[in-house]
């Protein structure tokens, strides 16, 4: 075939939440957009824990939740602090979360993204699956296109949006970021989708209809490593997973699979999963560098969005959110650049500005020191959870000892195990890092 | 010019299909639809004939409207056109009725350009000579055209399509032909034209692992052991 290489307005690399959001909004404005995806279809390579928030998603597709394939709307959020044999649980449920328009939903990414892909196509963008982008095509210091692994695979465009995920090859090759992410700035998360009958899920989690529950777990859930575990209720399955900093997994010689099995066998977790059949097993690298890990976000002819830009707020399990919104901001910057016919670094820096003025940057700034703090304070994943659970046990055990004596015992036990000034420093530090 | 028609089908990804143990039906939900893997060598066979003899390759697929995706993808390998047979009257077709509809589709394609060869997964020149792979041997067959061939995966997977071809495929809108266009009698297709009736679908029971008998030592001992077993099972009279 003698097809000439075609020129597009925008090349989006990666059909994840960030790339598809940008592609959808740009195609809707009539730009000639092509999305290059390495998987078989949009979503086939995408992994998320499974909670999708309505508000940011409506910034892309208003009213999406009336037609998109969603699992359950979240009415209850639980946080568990685990020790080997105990759990301290906090839960919040509000009637407001059970009313339309819901706050958040559990989703199975592959199904949702397939739907999202249809919307992107309907908006007029072209999605080219099963195609790997190998490198940017440069003219001097300008990105003018991408080279794919297919024969005659060069594509040219005014601007390239790198939405190619946490290991972003494009950002690396253009020199916007370091080659490798430091192992203490990335978490490895694994997840299983465990099938259970609807009624069993509704019974075990005390929900009705399409209501859903999310559980976040700390401390023993990740064997005391910096990370979290989770259980999210889908219609007829549970998303169960956990993740920890790679540096700590390596140091302890623990595989992510060991970690997940350990969590699943916890006496408080196991009964919720009992009788379930594992249907899918997924793994994902999560950028945890926060603000300090953020690469340069734009250059001549290219923008970096989503995981590729390390936009993850690990404190609030927000990744897909930030990805979608960064996609929207990238689209806004590209539309303005198109109007001015100026795709220089200066023009595209409008994207950086939008991001810096948004809550994304503010949140990442707020939690900028959190990851480092907890990495150097393992007591928050071991000693303190133990203290908390043992204090509860002491107070709840009726054994002829007066409550005042029990309080005194708890107090002195704690002081004997850690100096009071250390504890004061710990909590001051923790508060500083998240407040 | 040689006109080759390749028949393809869209199927749920077979590596991911499960059977619901309660309802005994295929769980298709959330399972990606792909081109039948057995049809991929057929597409490649068509492309080889195009490379070597300049054949015109048409793709024919019967299925629901979304099966046009499979045709778009198959087009990216370099086929000249794709036609989707899709009609409410074709729903429920069994092997016989599907064959009838495809045959009529091939005939309808033939009206535009006479068809020389039809290739199906699992191939037809004026005369065609093919090598048929048998167990431990090869057989050379010779036949006049037009003909119908089926190909096996040994023929190879389709080449890696070029990017412009993929983009062209994705942009091609696939014509949809119904029973009118292929001039088929509605009694001969769909549920009405399908003598096969599905009574029940069930997952095959798990096969019990075979018995492993270890017999170290002499051949005579082993032979006796086998003989004992055969007598026991009643295959040999004692």
* For residues B179-185, average pLDDT: 88
pLDDT for res A2: 46
Rounded Cα–Cα distance for residues A70 and A135 (Å) = 35
User: Which element (helix H / strand E) includes A247?
Assistant: helix A246-252
Which DSSP category does A197 fall into?
A: -
Helices and strands counted in chain B (H then E): 5, 12
Q: What is the pLDDT of residues A248-275, one digit of tens each?
A: 999 999 999 999 999 999 999 999 999 9
Q: Band of the pLDDT at A71, cuts 50, 70, 90?
A: very high
pLDDT above 70 for B29: no
Helices and strands counted in chain A (H then E): 17, 17
Residue A329: phi and psi, rounded to 5, are -65, -40
* Least confident residue range of A301-305, B52-56, B112-116: B112-116
Judged by CB atoms closer than 8 Å, whether chains meet at A5 and B164 is answered as yes
pLDDT for res A4: 58
Rounded Cα–Cα distance for residues B155 and B37 (Å) = 12
Instruction: Say if residue A101 is preceded by a cis peptide, omega within 30 of 0.
Output: yes
* For residues B56-63, average pLDDT: 93
Left if phi > 0, otherwise alpha if psi is -120 to 50, otherwise beta: which for B230?
alpha
Rounded Cα–Cα distance for residues A425 and A418 (Å) = 11
B163: nearest CB among A41, A114, A155: A155
Q: What is the pLDDT of residues B70-96, one digit of tens each?
A: 999 899 888 999 999 999 999 888 888
B163 contacts chain A (CB < 8 A): yes
Q: What is the pLDDT of residues A391-407, one digit of tens each?
A: 999 999 999 999 999 99
| Chain B residues within an 8 Å CB radius of A152 | 162-164
Rounded Cα–Cα distance for residues A385 and A220 (Å) = 8
| Chain B residues within an 8 Å CB radius of A153 | 162-163
Q: What is the pLDDT of residues A331-385, one digit of tens each?
A: 999 999 999 999 999 999 999 999 999 988 888 888 888 878 888 888 888 888 9
Task: Give the percent of chain B with pLDDT over 70.
Answer: 85
Token output for A279: 């249907």
Rounded Cα–Cα distance for residues A213 and B147 (Å) = 61
Rounded Cα–Cα distance for residues A390 and A386 (Å) = 6
Residue whose structure tokens are 């300090």: A292
Q: Between residues B165 and B32, which one has the greater pLDDT?
A: B165
Rounded Cα–Cα distance for residues A46 and A43 (Å) = 5
pLDDT above 90 for B118: no
Left if phi > 0, otherwise alpha if psi is -120 to 50, otherwise beta: which for B156?
left
Q: What is the pLDDT of residues B119-163, one digit of tens each?
A: 876 533 455 667 677 777 777 777 766 677 777 776 777 778 889
pLDDT for res B165: 86
Rounded Cα–Cα distance for residues B125 and B121 (Å) = 18
pLDDT for res B144: 66
Q: What is the pLDDT of residues A210-241, one digit of tens each?
A: 999 999 999 999 999 989 999 999 999 999 99
Between A and B, how many CB-CB pairs are < 8 A? 51
pLDDT for res A307: 92
| Chain A residues within an 8 Å CB radius of B166 | 128, 131, 150
Q: Between residues A109 and A89, which one has the greater pLDDT?
A: A89
Q: What is the pLDDT of residues A159-207, one digit of tens each?
A: 999 999 988 999 999 999 877 788 888 899 999 999 999 999 999 999 9
pLDDT above 90 for A422: no
> What distance lies between CA A225 and its chain's CA centroid?
18
Mean of all residue pLDDT scores within chain B: 82
Residue A184: name the closest of A307, A308, A286, A315 by CA: A286
Q: Between residues B59 and B144, which one has the greater pLDDT?
A: B59
Of A150, A153, A277, which to mutate for an interface test with B (greatest number of B Cβ within 10 Å)? A150
A131: nearest CB among B34, B166, B171: B166
pLDDT above 90 for B209: no
Of A2, A3, A36, A122, which to mutate for an interface test with B (greatest number of B Cβ within 10 Å)? A3
Beta-carbon contacts of B33 under 8 Å, excluding residues fewer than 6 positions away, are B10, B11, B12, B13, B66, B67, B69, B70
pLDDT for res A216: 95
Q: From B50, which residue of chain A is nearest by alpha-carbon distance?
A: A1
Q: Which long-range contacts (CB under 8 A, 24 or more apart) does A384-387 make?
A: A384/A426, A385/A81, A385/A82, A385/A83, A385/A88, A385/A218, A385/A219, A385/A220, A386/A83, A387/A414, A387/A417
Q: What is the pLDDT of residues A132-155, one digit of tens each?
A: 999 999 999 999 999 999 999 999
Judged by CB atoms closer than 8 Å, whether chains meet at A1 and B161 is answered as no
* For residues A406-432, average pLDDT: 88
Token output for B145: 């055209």
pLDDT for res B30: 63
Q: Band of the pLDDT at B56, cuts 50, 70, 90?
A: very high
pLDDT above 80 for B215: no
Residue B137 half-sphere exposure, CB side, CA atoms within 13 Å?
Answer: 2
Q: By the 8 A CB rule, do A295 and A175 touch?
A: no
pLDDT for res A5: 61
B81 contacts chain A (CB < 8 A): no
Judged by CB atoms closer than 8 Å, whether chains meet at B166 and A150 is answered as yes
Rounded Cα–Cα distance for residues A418 and B4 (Å) = 81
Rounded Cα–Cα distance for residues B62 and B176 (Å) = 9
Concatenated DSSP letters of A359-420:
HHHHHHHHTTTHHHHHHT-GGGGTHHHHHHHHHHHHHH--SS--HHHHHHHHHHHHHHHS-H
Judged by CB atoms closer than 8 Å, whether chains meet at B163 and A110 is answered as no
Token output for A260: 């997940």
Burial zone of A376 (CB within 10 Å; 0-12 exposed, 13-18 middle, 19+ buried): exposed
B167: nearest CB among A110, A128, A151: A128
> What distance lies between CA B46 and its chain's CA centroid?
14
Left if phi > 0, otherwise alpha if psi is -120 to 50, otherwise beta: which for A63?
left
* Least confident residue range of B15-19, B38-42, B103-107: B15-19
Q: Between residues A29 and B203, which one has the greater pLDDT?
A: A29
| Chain B residues within an 8 Å CB radius of A5 | 163-164
Q: From A112, which residue of chain B is nearest by alpha-carbon distance?
A: B30
Q: From A41, which residue of chain B is nearest by alpha-carbon distance?
A: B32
Residue A84: name the closest of A272, A274, A267 by CA: A267
Using a CB–CB cut-off of 8 Å, the residues of A that contact B are 1, 3-6, 34, 40-41, 44, 108, 110-111, 114, 126-128, 131, 148, 150-155
Rounded Cα–Cα distance for residues B218 and A396 (Å) = 72
Tell me the CA distances in angstroms from A435 to A92, A201, A312, A379, one per residue in order: 21, 36, 18, 19
Rounded Cα–Cα distance for residues A134 and A52 (Å) = 31
Which DSSP category does A273 fall into?
A: H
pLDDT for res A42: 86
In Å, the largest CA–CA distance within chain A is 90
Residue B53: phi and psi, rounded to 5, are -120, 5
Min Cα separation B16/chain A (Å): 10
Q: Which residues are bridge partners to A13 per DSSP?
A: A36, A162
Rounded Cα–Cα distance for residues A273 and A275 (Å) = 6
Q: What is the pLDDT of residues A276-294, one digit of tens each?
A: 999 889 999 988 888 888 8
Q: From A127, which residue of chain B is nearest by alpha-carbon distance?
A: B170
Judged by CB atoms closer than 8 Å, whether chains meet at B30 and A40 is answered as no
Judged by CB atoms closer than 8 Å, whether chains meet at B32 and A153 is answered as no
Judged by CB atoms closer than 8 Å, whether chains meet at A150 and B160 is answered as yes
Q: Between residues A77 and B234, which one has the greater pLDDT?
A: A77
| Chain B residues within an 8 Å CB radius of A126 | 167, 170-171
Q: How large is the angle between the packed helices A359-366 and A320-340, nearest 10 degrees?
A: 140
Mean of all residue pLDDT scores within chain A: 91
B169 contacts chain A (CB < 8 A): no
Judged by CB atoms closer than 8 Å, whether chains meet at A1 and B78 is answered as yes
| Chain A residues within an 8 Å CB radius of B170 | 126-128
Q: Between residues B29 and A429, which one has the greater pLDDT?
A: A429
Q: Band of the pLDDT at B235, cuts 50, 70, 90?
A: confident
Rounded to a whole number of angstroms, the distance between the first and last alpha carbons of chain A is: 61
Other C-beta atoms within 10 Å of A167: how many? 15
């Amino acid at each position: 075939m003698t097809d000439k290489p075609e020129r597009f307005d925008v090349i989006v690399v990666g059909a994840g939440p960030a790339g598809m959001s940008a592609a959808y909004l740009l195609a809707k404005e009539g730009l000639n957009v092509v999305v290059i995806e390495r998987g078989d279809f949009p979503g086939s390579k995408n992994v998320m824990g499974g909670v999708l928030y309505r508000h940011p998603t409506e910034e892309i597709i208003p009213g999406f939740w009336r037609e998109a394939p969603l699992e359950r709307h979240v009415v209850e959020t639980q946080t568990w602090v685990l020790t080997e044999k105990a759990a301290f649980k906090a839960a919040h449920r509000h009637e407001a979360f059970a009313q339309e328009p819901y706050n958040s939903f559990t989703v199975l990414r592959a199904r949702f993204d397939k739907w999202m892909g249809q919307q992107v196509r309907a908006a007029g963008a072209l999605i080219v699956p099963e195609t790997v982008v190998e490198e940017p095509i440069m003219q001097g210091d300008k990105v003018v296109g991408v080279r794919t692994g297919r024969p005659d695979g060069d594509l040219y465009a005014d601007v390239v949006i790198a939405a190619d995920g946490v290991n972003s090859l494009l950002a690396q090759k253009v020199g916007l970021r370091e080659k490798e992410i430091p192992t203490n700035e990335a978490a490895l998360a694994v997840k299983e989708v465990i099938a259970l009958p609807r009624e069993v899920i509704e019974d075990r989690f005390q929900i009705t209809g399409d209501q859903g529950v999310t559980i976040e777990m700390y401390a023993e859930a990740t064997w005391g490593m910096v990370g979290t575990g989770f259980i999210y209720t889908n219609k007829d399955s549970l998303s169960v997973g956990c993740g920890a900093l790679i540096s700590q997994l390596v140091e302890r010689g623990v595989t992510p699979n060991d970690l997940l099995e350990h969590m699943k066998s916890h006496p408080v977790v196991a009964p919720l999963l009992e009788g379930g059949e594992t249907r899918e097993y997924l793994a994902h690298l999560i950028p945890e560098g926060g603000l300090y890990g953020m690469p340069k976000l734009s250059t001549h002819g290219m923008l970096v969005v989503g995981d590729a830009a390390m936009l993850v707020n690990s404190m609030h399990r927000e990744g897909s959110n930030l990805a979608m919104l960064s996609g929207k901001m990238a689209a806004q910057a590209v539309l303005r650049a198109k109007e001015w016919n100026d795709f220089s670094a200066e023009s595209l820096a409008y994207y950086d500005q939008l991001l810096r003025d948004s809550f994304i940057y503010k949140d990442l700034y707020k939690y900028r020191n959190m990851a480092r703090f907890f990495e150097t304070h393992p007591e928050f994943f071991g000693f303190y959870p133990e203290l908390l659970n043992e204090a509860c046990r002491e107070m709840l055990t009726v054994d002829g000892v007066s409550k005042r004596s029990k309080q005194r015992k708890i107090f002195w036990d704690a002081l004997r195990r850690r100096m009071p000034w250390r504890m004061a420093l710990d909590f001051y530090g923790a508060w500083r890092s998240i407040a | 010019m040689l006109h080759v028609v390749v028949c393809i089908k869209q199927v749920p990804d077979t590596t991911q299909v499960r059977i619901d143990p309660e309802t005994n039906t295929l769980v298709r939900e959330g399972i990606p639809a792909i081109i039948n893997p057995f049809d991929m060598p057929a597409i490649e066979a068509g492309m080889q004939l195009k490379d070597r003899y300049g054949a015109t390759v048409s793709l024919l697929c019967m299925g629901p409207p979304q099966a046009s995706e499979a045709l778009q993808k198959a087009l990216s390998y370099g086929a000249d056109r794709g036609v989707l047979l899709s009609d409410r009257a074709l729903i429920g077709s069994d092997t016989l009725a599907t064959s009838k509809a495809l045959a009529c589709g091939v005939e309808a394609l033939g009206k535009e350009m006479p068809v020389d060869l039809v290739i199906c997964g699992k191939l037809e020149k004026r005369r065609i000579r093919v090598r048929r792979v048998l167990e431990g041997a090869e057989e050379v067959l010779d036949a006049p055209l037009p003909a119908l061939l089926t190909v096996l995966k040994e023929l190879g997977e389709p080449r890696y399509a070029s990017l412009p071809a993929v983009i062209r495929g994705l942009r091609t809108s696939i014509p949809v032909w119904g029973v009118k266009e292929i001039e088929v009698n509605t009694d001969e297709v769909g549920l009405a034209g399908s003598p096969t009736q599905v009574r029940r679908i069930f997952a095959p029971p798990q096969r019990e692992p075979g018995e492993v008998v270890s017999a170290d030592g002499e051949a005579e001992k082993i032979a006796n052991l086998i003989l004992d077993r055969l007598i026991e099972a009643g295959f040999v009279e004692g």
